[in-house]
A = this chain, B = another copy of it.
Amino acid sequence: MNREAIDLEERFSHFDEVWSPKVIARLNDYEIKLARLDGEFVWHSHQETDELFLVLSGSLTIQLRDGNVSLGPGQLFVVPRGVEHCPITDGGQVRVMLIEPAGVINTGEAGGELTASHDDSLA
């Protein structure tokens, strides 16, 4: 068992890629991930699970088909399962903590070039 605190700032220092979530911890069968976001993602949904976004820095809009949710540092939003969404950053890079069950694909059912491989090298 690892007896060390996990420092979010320190974990971010290990990667620069955007739209490429890194697993930093596990909670039962869930994964805690960090990601850098920049620009617009793709519209997608996750049929099997909710997804939590907690913004750590920057300004993020989660576009939904029937409205937008704006998030700044210290604000979170849970996208319900099955709900189409498309994150887009407002200005510079955004850093987020994501929480979802292990095995969730970042682009959901949409697929495409932004689909990230599962990366738990920081866990």
Task: Please report A residues at the B interface, Cβ cutoff 8 Å.
Answer: 1, 3-9, 25-28, 30, 32, 49-52, 56, 64, 66-67, 69-72, 74-78, 80-81, 83, 99-101
Contact = CB atoms under 8 A, between A and B. Distances in A.
A50 B32 CA distance: 13
Contact of A27 (B3, B50, B67): B50
Give me the 9 closest cross-chain CB pairs, A-B, nearest first.
A5-B75, A5-B71, A8-B74, A27-B50, A27-B52, A7-B75, A6-B76, A28-B50, A3-B67
Per assembly, the copies of the chain total: 2
A69 B27 contact: no
Contacts of A76: 5-6, 8, 25, 32
Given A5-B69, A5-B76, A5-B77, 10 more contacts: A1-B83, A3-B67, A5-B75, A6-B77, A8-B76, A25-B76, A26-B50, A28-B50, A32-B52, A99-B99
A105 to B, nearest CB: 16
B8 A69 contact: no
Contact of A4 (B6, B30, B66, B69): B69
